[in-house]
Chains A and B, each alone.
Chain A
Amino acid sequence: MNDEELLARLRAIDPARTSDAPQPDINRLLEATMTADTTVRTSPRTSDRPRRPPLLAAAAAAVLTVGAGITWGVTATRDTPPAVAAPLVLTVQQDTGGGPATACAELDVTTLRQYTTAFEGTATSIDGDQVTLRVDHWYRGEDASTVRLDNVRLDNTHEGQLESFGQEFAVGQTYLVYAEDGKVPVCYGDAEATPKLRSLYDRAYGQ
């Protein structure tokens, strides 16, 4: 028997070929890994096989502890109550077609200050026109650990021209979003988190 035949016979019994196990849910895995880190580190190993913590508990833990060493250092002076399990829902306003949205002036501190909801979050899933974000840092407003943006349209058509008013979202990317009364204004422009944009938010909300 030569190498090729041996290889073929071994491949014939490859369990991965015939398994009907579902593919791993990568988004859940990522989420669980990055929030599980601190909780697993502090608990002693037992002889039981360690289990990854359920998602909700992990999210709550991330609020109370210094989750993966990211943003909570900045909010250390705030008293953060435990995370609300239900996501905060914000609806993106759409231009009703009466004309192009009032020219999207570049975002400045004065404008930002008018909004009572502002946060930095990472997109964890996109489903049609809904984007779910894990909140990494609240600048002003709520305390939810996740936010769902409804009515997100990638672009709007005006008089046959494709115009992009809003931000295109991608899973894994981080964004800065502001809102008032559950509504994200039409012209929320470039929301992708950059050092420049963060510094604008810092100055607007005094942190």
Chain B
Amino acid sequence: MESMLELERARAREARFDALARAVAKPLHRYLLRRADADAVDDILAETMLVLWRRLEDVPGLGKGPVTDLDGVLPWCYGVARGCLSNARRADGRRLRLVERLTRTAPPPMPGEADHPELQAALGTLGALDREVVLLWAWEGLTPREIAEVTGLTANAVSIRLHRAKKKLAALLDRKNDDKAGHEMGEGRSNR
């Protein structure tokens, strides 16, 4: 019976999605916690899951049965989360412009911005894409090839951006360290 075959296919698809969702839900949740407003995270995660469900056939390296290669599927899934996050930000931006007629030029504030102001400021000097590349390296622990898959850049482009961004951050933070040291030793820098 034709409908029996459809039934089996649908079952198999559900099972594949089930396995994928269980493997990636927590990493995706952390990814969004790091970048979105706390009250938006659950909605964006749900939206991400919906896209994964619809585009299940596009997930690279997803076979039957449990997910055996998390590192194979995770970058692609981060990419989907990133897209949903930027949709949400755009929707926010539209709402603000409509309601308050302000243009947002500053990047959205990162969670926990009050602590470690120098590092936050240093990150703020990076372009949005460079910042994302650095954070995917530092927080998600991805390799340049994996970062390429998340962002749509080539692995080469990622390596170059990552290298430059790290140098820039290091230089800024070193300078801040020197400034602080000089201040403590009373070398007469008048910031007061």
A residues at B contact (CB < 8 Å): 1-3, 5-7, 9-16, 18-19, 21, 23-24, 26, 29-30, 32-34, 36-37, 40, 47-52, 68-71, 73-74, 122, 172, 174, 193, 195, 198-199, 202
Distance in Å: Cβ of A54 to nearest Cβ of chain B: 12
Name the 7 nearest CB pairs between A and B, nearest first: A10-B138, A52-B46, A15-B111, A1-B170, A70-B10, A16-B30, A33-B49
User: Please, how many angstroms separate the alpha-carbon atoms of A152 and B25 in the complex?
Assistant: 30
Q: Does B115 contact A (CB under 8 A)?
A: yes
B residues at A contact (CB < 8 Å): 1, 3-4, 6-8, 10-11, 14-15, 17-18, 21-22, 25-26, 29-30, 33-34, 38, 40-47, 49-50, 52-54, 88, 91-92, 94-95, 98, 110-112, 115-116, 119-120, 134-135, 138-139, 166, 169-170, 173-174, 177
- A19-B33, A24-B29, A26-B21 as given contacts; A199 in contact with B7, CB under 8 Å: no
- A16-B33, A70-B10 as given contacts; A37 in contact with B53, CB under 8 Å: yes
Residues of B within 8 A of A29 (CB): 21, 25, 45-46, 49
Q: Max chain B CB contacts within 10 Å: which of A1, A24, A174?
A: A24
Contact count A vs B, C-beta below 8 Å: 132
Contact B94 A74, beta carbon cutoff 8 Å: no
Contact A7 B3, beta carbon cutoff 8 Å: no
Interchain Cβ contacts under 8 Å between A and B, 13 examples? A1-B177, A10-B138, A15-B33, A15-B34, A19-B111, A26-B25, A29-B21, A30-B49, A37-B50, A49-B44, A70-B10, A195-B8, A202-B4
Contact B173 A6, beta carbon cutoff 8 Å: yes
Residues of B within 8 A of A1 (CB): 170, 173-174, 177
- A10-B119, A15-B110, A32-B46 as given contacts; A198 in contact with B7, CB under 8 Å: yes
- Contact among B30, B139, B177 with A11 in the assembled complex (CB-CB below 8 Å): B139
Residues of A within 8 A of B26 (CB): 23-24
Contact A73 B4, beta carbon cutoff 8 Å: no
Distance in Å: Cβ of A35 to nearest Cβ of chain B: 11
Residues of B within 8 A of A15 (CB): 33-34, 110-112
Contact A50 B47, beta carbon cutoff 8 Å: yes
Contact A30 B18, beta carbon cutoff 8 Å: yes
Please, which residue of chain A has its CB at the minimum distance from the CB of B166?
Answer: A6
User: Please, how many angstroms separate the alpha-carbon atoms of A106 and B119 in the complex?
Assistant: 69
- Contact among B7, B169, B174 with A71 in the assembled complex (CB-CB below 8 Å): B7
Residues of B within 8 A of A12 (CB): 116
Contact A49 B40, beta carbon cutoff 8 Å: yes
Contact B43 A51, beta carbon cutoff 8 Å: yes
Distance in Å: Cβ of A158 to nearest Cβ of chain B: 34
User: Please, how many angstroms separate the alpha-carbon atoms of A19 and B34 in the complex?
Assistant: 9
Residues of A within 8 A of B94 (CB): 47
Distance in Å: Cβ of B98 to nearest Cβ of chain A: 8
Distance in Å: Cβ of A31 to nearest Cβ of chain B: 11
Please, which residue of chain A has its CB at the minimum distance from the CB of B50?
Answer: A33
Distance in Å: Cβ of A21 to nearest Cβ of chain B: 6
Please, which residue of chain A has its CB at the minimum distance from the CB of B19?
Answer: A172
User: Please, how many angstroms separate the alpha-carbon atoms of A11 and B54 in the complex?
Assistant: 34
Residues of A within 8 A of B40 (CB): 49
Please, which residue of chain B has its CB at the minimum distance from the CB of A120?
Answer: B7
- Contact among B21, B44, B45, B177 with A30 in the assembled complex (CB-CB below 8 Å): B21
Distance in Å: Cβ of B11 to nearest Cβ of chain A: 6
Known: A11-B138, A15-B110, A24-B45. 6 other contacts (CB 8 A): A1-B177, A13-B119, A19-B111, A29-B25, A47-B98, A49-B92
Distance in Å: Cβ of A132 to nearest Cβ of chain B: 16
Contact A34 B42, beta carbon cutoff 8 Å: no
- Contact among A10, A19, A73, A172 with B18 in the assembled complex (CB-CB below 8 Å): A172
